[in-house]
């Protein structure tokens, strides 16, 4: 049995993203998809004394952002200093700031020119810290043909998946009967029931970037990361 998930990369994503990665055998970064504005691809949330704050990686556009995530360039380098300043300002008092800074700060010192490369390298470093052993590949390694549902099905077939694990939003377009015809079980990932963890700045706020968990909990982050592993079959 091989479980596969296929998801676009995100900039320092939330806890549920890493929970999904740790729940499957192969996680395929689906950056062959079109880049979408005001989405998680190039921004995420950190917690501040004033509440949630977006930090956004500026990107270069081709027309009306008619490019894949793989082809999305980063606009300049000033954002690196700005992001690290915001992170330091709001997490310097966190119990594991020094430890996690050694892991994360180098990504704000290297001049990345491509969004997918930045997201993927951050993802790999954080997965390694959290001891997530899942195989991580990218959709460039697979043949993409057909409509939205067919492309996912073909990736599953090529990757020898016996189970495709997806977020619930795909229920709107996924042709489950085609998956079943190819002996691939569709399972819907349940993002509920994450435990609150110690945070700075007052009342607990869910949905923050994984950095919030790491700075506050360090190696203990794994105790809060993985939910009950509940899947709902198609």
pLDDT at residue 22, rounded to an integer: 95
0.85 surpassed by pTM: yes
Q: Are 62 and 42 in contact (CB under 8 A)?
A: no
Question: What's the chain's average pLDDT?
Answer: 94
> What is the rounded average pLDDT of the residues 119-145?
95
Bridge-based pairing of strands 135-138 and 26-29 is parallel
pLDDT in tens, 136-162: 999 998 988 889 999 999 999 999 999
What region does 53 belong to: left with phi over 0, alpha with psi -120 to 50, or beta? beta
Name the token pair of 97. Answer: 């700031």
Question: Could you tell me if 188 and 232 are in contact, meaning their C-beta atoms sit under 8 angstroms apart?
Answer: yes
Percent of the chain past pLDDT 90, that is, above it, reads 86
Q: Is the pLDDT of residue 122 over 60?
A: yes
Q: What is the pLDDT of residues 64-117, one digit of tens each?
A: 667 999 999 999 999 999 999 999 999 999 999 999 999 999 999 999 999 999
Domain locations in the chain as residue ranges: 3-233
Per-residue pLDDT band at 233 (split at 50, 70, 90): low
- 7-16 pLDDT tens trace: 999 999 999 9
Q: What distance in Å separates the CA atoms of residue 84 and residue 102, rounded to the nearest whole number?
A: 12
> How confident is the model over 203-225, as pLDDT tens digits?
999 999 999 999 999 999 999 98
């Amino acid at each position: 049995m091989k479980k596969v998930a296929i998801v676009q990369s995100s900039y320092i994503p939330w806890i549920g993203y890493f929970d999904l990665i740790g729940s499957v055998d192969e996680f395929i970064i689906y950056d062959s998809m079109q880049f979408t504005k005001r989405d998680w691809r190039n921004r995420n949330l950190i917690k501040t004394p004033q509440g949630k704050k977006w930090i956004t990686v500026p990107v270069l556009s081709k027309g009306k952002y008619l490019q894949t995530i793989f082809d999305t360039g980063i606009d300049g380098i000033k954002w690196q200093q700005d992001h690290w300043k915001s992170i330091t300002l709001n997490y310097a008092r966190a119990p594991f700031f020094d430890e996690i800074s050694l892991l994360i700060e180098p990504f704000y010192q290297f001049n990345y020119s491509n969004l997918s490369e930045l997201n993927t390298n951050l993802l790999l470093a954080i997965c390694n810290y959290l001891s997530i052993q899942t195989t991580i590949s990218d959709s460039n390694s697979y043949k993409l043909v057909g409509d939205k549902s067919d492309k996912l099905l073909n990736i599953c077939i090529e990757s020898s998946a016996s189970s495709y694990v997806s977020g619930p939003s795909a229920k709107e377009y996924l042709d489950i009967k085609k998956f079943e015809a190819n002996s691939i079980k569709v399972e819907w990932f349940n993002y509920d029931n994450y435990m609150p963890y110690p945070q700075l700045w007052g009342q607990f706020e869910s949905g923050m970037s994984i950095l919030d968990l790491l700075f506050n909990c360090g190696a203990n982050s794994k105790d809060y990361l993985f939910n009950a592993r509940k899947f709902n079959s198609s």
